[in-house]
Amino acid sequence: MKKKWIAMGTGVGIGAVMLTVSAMSAMAGTSGYEAWKSALKQTRTAQSVAGTAAVTVSDNGSELFGASAAFKKGAGDSGASATVTLSAGAVTKGANLYLQDGKAIVKTSDSDVYRVAEHGGGKGPKWRHDGAREGGPDPEFAEGAERVLDALVGSLKDHVTLQSEADGGKRVSLHLTGSQVPVAVNAIGSLLVRGASDGPHGGWKHGVEGKGEGEAAEDFHALFASGLEHDWPKLTKDIRVDDIRLDATIDAANYFDRKSAEIRIVGKDDAGAEHSVVVRADIDLSGVNATTPDSVDLTGKQVEKIEHDAGWRDRGGRR
């Protein structure tokens, strides 16, 4: 079977988890749903945070690839840092990433070169991932997002378990199996798996192909793709989401402490062989309002400047 690049597989794996988490993780009984929303709002007010995240994708019990990261987000404009590890088969690659002084810096584990690009240097208001502008959240965006989330909850509120912990925290869980999984989620899972099975195309192509070393350095994906290969199962029949398990723990201060998501997608390939693809993601948060990100002193280091606009134009043209 044709080998696929880790970039494609990782994107699909994370996409499957994130799509389902965003649409389903709040699908809880009324009290559990409100507890989840309240913790989400509270966690977004954190000025700084640290944590770890991990995503794995396996097929019939054999791991196809994995990604893990330890990250730190500082308050205000103090930046962020992360250590990332990607693995596929017997190959493992890592990188250190920094956002500091208006720059994005990447150093891979197999190189002594620090690649530097301008970050967030554009004019006008700076927008964050939650739709907020500098100076405070956008109330209209937050209200609209909450209405969408409420609409997605639907009649699945009865599938929640909400448990109070002895330390004042809470545990919210949503477990769906078989016919409990909504038709819409099954459709999303089927599309994602079929997309992965079709192989790399467009923006998923390996960034090094047809490019010189200098040009390849402009594509961050190329820093990780080389040597990380895996066989993604080509599912074509009877594809369905068979199991969803979402769990979150909330601490006594109403911040998320831990989130986990596990999704199992089953189906058959053209030969009729059955596959069980499991996507799992775990996130642990700590250091709320007490985290300072790591930074790197580039003095005396080998530095390669990446032209931000050129890199995005190149990637945009291939999508």
Amino acid, res. 152: L
Q: Which of 249, 255, 285 lies closest to 45, judged by CA?
A: 255
Mean pLDDT of the chain: 75
Helix (H) or strand (E) holding 39: helix 30-44
CB atoms within 10 A of CB 75: 15
Cα 190 to Cα 53: distance, rounded to the nearest angstrom: 25
Starting at the edge strand found earlier in the chain, the sheet holding 91-100 runs: 160-164, 170-177, 235-250, 256-269, 274-286, 49-59, 62-73, 80-88, 91-100, 103-108, 113-118, 302-305
The whole-number pLDDT of residue 197 equals: 64
Residues 258, 283: contact at Cβ < 8 Å?
yes
**Tens-place pLDDT, residues 174-220:** 888 888 887 777 777 777 777 666 654 333 333 333 343 334 334 55
Is pLDDT of 146 > 90?
no
Whether 86 has a pLDDT exceeding 60, the answer reads: yes
Per-domain boundaries in the chain: 4-318
* Pair 235, 18: CB distance under 8 Å: no
pLDDT for the residue numbered 153: 59
pLDDT of residue 276: 95
How sure is the predictor about 7, in pLDDT bands with cuts at 50, 70 and 90? very low
210: left (phi over 0), alpha (psi -120 to 50) or beta: left
pLDDT of residue 168: 92
pLDDT tens string 236-284: 899 999 999 999 999 999 999 999 999 999 999 999 999 999 999 999 9
How much is the pLDDT for 9? 47
Residue 149's pLDDT is 64
In the chain, how long is the greatest CA-to-CA distance? 60
Angle of the 139-153 helix axis to the 30-44 helix axis, nearest 10:
150
Residue that has been written with the tokens 């053209």 in this structure: 270
pLDDT tens-digit readout, 94-136: 999 999 998 999 999 989 999 999 875 444 334 344 444 444 4
Tokens of 102: 């208006």
Reading phi first (left if > 0) and then psi (alpha if -120 to 50, else beta), residue 283 is in beta
Whether pTM exceeds 0.75: no
**DSSP of 244-279:** EEEEEEE-TTS-EEEEEEEEEEEEEETT--EEEEEE
From 229, 261, 262, 239, select the one nearest 193 (Cα to Cα): 239
Higher-confidence residue of 294 and 233: namely: 294
For residue 173, the one-letter residue type is S
> Tokens at residue 79, please?
């930046």
How deeply is 286 buried, as exposed, middle or buried, from its count of CB atoms within 10 A (0-12, 13-18, 19+)?
Answer: middle
> Is the pLDDT confidence value at 170 over 80?
yes
Considering only residues 228 and 189, tell me which one the structure prediction assigns the higher pLDDT. 189
pLDDT of residue 31: 80
Cα distance between residue 37 and residue 32, in whole Å: 9
Split at pLDDT 50, 70, 90, the class of 142 is low
Q: What's the pLDDT score for residue 314?
A: 43
Tens digit of each residue's pLDDT (9 = 90 or more) over 24-37: 443 334 587 788 88
Q: What is the DSSP letter of 204?
A: G
User: pLDDT value at position 248?
Assistant: 95
- Provide the b/e sequence for 93-102 (b: ≥16 CB within 10 Å): bbbbbbbbee
